[in-house]
Amino acid sequence: MHLLPDLTKRVALVTGASRGIGAAVARALAEAGADVAVNYRAEAERAEAVAAELRTLGRRVMAVRADVSQGAEVASCVRRIEAELGPIDVLVNNAGIALVRDIADLTEEDFDRTLAVNLKSAFLCTQAVLPSMQARRWGRIVNISSGAARGAGGIGVHYNASKAGMEGLTRGYAARLMKHGITVNAVAPSLIDTDMTRVRQDNPARRIPLGRLGTVEEVAQAVLMVIGNGYMTGQTVQLNGGTHFI
């Protein structure tokens, strides 16, 4: 038994892979042998740079623009990937936004947008890839949640709700899909060094028992671990430098 997954001949879609955690996950999947679709919404140049880097590993890689909160864009993105790389075996629902809002400042628009990008996108992408995974009786879906699904976090109640919803989605799909050979798990990081945390003014590393932010590679390692384990489903793997003990 290989302890790390061999993803040779597998096709993976990583949403929001132009930078941050998604780019590191895309890199780890390509290193494990997968052909990879690097999704992005706005940062085309950064997505193309990630794709170019992964091609040097000898993989087939495409950068594909889609706002994954929009059903029609997800459908056409998945069609393009299937036409160019083949059916999708591995889906990592990573795209997300973190609009920092106090309760008094949170608008209905902020709430709806956060739920659409962070939660509805995972539903849309999962629904779009399921038919081909079910037909081939194999699939791996990993949803990038957050410590904010359980804790207060520093972003706001809308973000808490989107990530808690994502974990409910994870368990609901997991329960229904194991019999089709498809596992669905969540990875819940807290405070990883990316653009999302760099905009914060409150030096969040001070609140982490380990004394530092996590790295994108540490999150990618957890994603690969989950993908490599065919007996584990419906779980959330937390990685947070010990924050869940405080």
Which residues form the interface with ligand NAP (CB under 6 A)?
A: 15-22, 39-43, 46, 67-69, 94-98, 117, 144, 146, 189-192, 194-197
Q: Nearest Cα to 69, choosing from 23, 130, 20, 114?
A: 114
Cβ at position 174, least distance to ligand NAP in Å: 19
Q: Are 120 and 69 in contact (CB under 8 A)?
A: yes
- 79-86: long-range contacts, CB 8 A cutoff, minimum separation 24: 81/11, 81/13, 81/37, 82/132, 84/60, 85/11, 85/35, 85/37, 85/60, 86/11, 86/35
- Select 183 or 190, whichever has its Cβ closest to ligand NAP: 190
At a CB cut-off of 8 Å and minimum separation 6, what does 113 contact?
69, 97, 99
- Select 99 or 178, whichever has its Cβ closest to ligand NAP: 99
In eight-state DSSP terms, residue 118 is I
- Select 170 or 194, whichever has its Cβ closest to ligand NAP: 194
Catalytic center residues: 159
Q: Are 140 and 206 in contact (CB under 8 A)?
A: no
- Select 36 or 68, whichever has its Cβ closest to ligand NAP: 68
Cβ at position 220, least distance to ligand NAP in Å: 11
Q: Are 13 and 86 in contact (CB under 8 A)?
A: no
Cβ at position 130, least distance to ligand NAP in Å: 19
Cβ at position 83, least distance to ligand NAP in Å: 20
